[in-house]
Amino acid sequence: MVKFILPEEVLPLRSLVLRNGKPLEACVFEGDLAYDTFHLGFLKDGEIKSIATFMRNDFFPEEGEGYQLRGMATHPDAVGNGYGAALVTFAIEYLKEYKTDYLWCNARSTAAAFYKKIGFTTESPEFDIPGIGFHYEMKLNLNQK
């Protein structure tokens, strides 16, 4: 089940999956505590199996109001069960309710196919985030114009 979770609840999976076991305090993102940031978790048997953070960020300002998907991670034992897709689908519907124009992310190259399946388009050549890996800027238009 998808539910809103607290900022500190995303840190264990961020550490495990995205930051190679770094201390939790090293896994905090600037903006995690902003009033317009929200965090989602997919819970199975009372445990958080997948997480995602959504932050207001107009990366493509000429295209209106944007939100950035950051820190998406699924526990290695739960990959392939659709938990991540459920989080993104929930967020898309939620953001549409607030008339958000687009959702974007810096998608790891290994996850680009996942985002394309949901409907995201690739907006940049592949680039390296030092210490984290190769990514693409990807975007999903949400407005109903």
Beta bridge partners of 98: none
Q: Which of 18-22, 59-63, 94-98, 104-108 has the lowest mean pLDDT?
A: 18-22
pLDDT single digits (tens) 112-139: 999 999 999 999 999 998 888 899 999 9
Q: What is the model's pLDDT at position 120?
A: 97
CA distances from 75 to 57, 103, 114, 119 (A): 26, 23, 16, 23
In the structure, what pLDDT confidence band is assigned to residue 92 with cuts at 50, 70 and 90?
very high
Q: Is the pLDDT of residue 145 over 60?
A: no
pLDDT single digits (tens) 33-73: 999 999 999 999 999 999 999 999 999 989 999 999 999 99
* Average pLDDT over the chain, rounded to an integer: 94
Q: What is the model's pLDDT at position 144?
A: 62
Q: What is the mean pLDDT of residues 20-37?
A: 92
Pinpoint the alpha helices (H) of 2-129.
11-13, 83-97, 112-118
Question: What is the reported pTM?
Answer: 0.94
> CB–CB of 71/53 below 8 Å?
yes
Q: What is the model's pLDDT at position 143?
A: 80
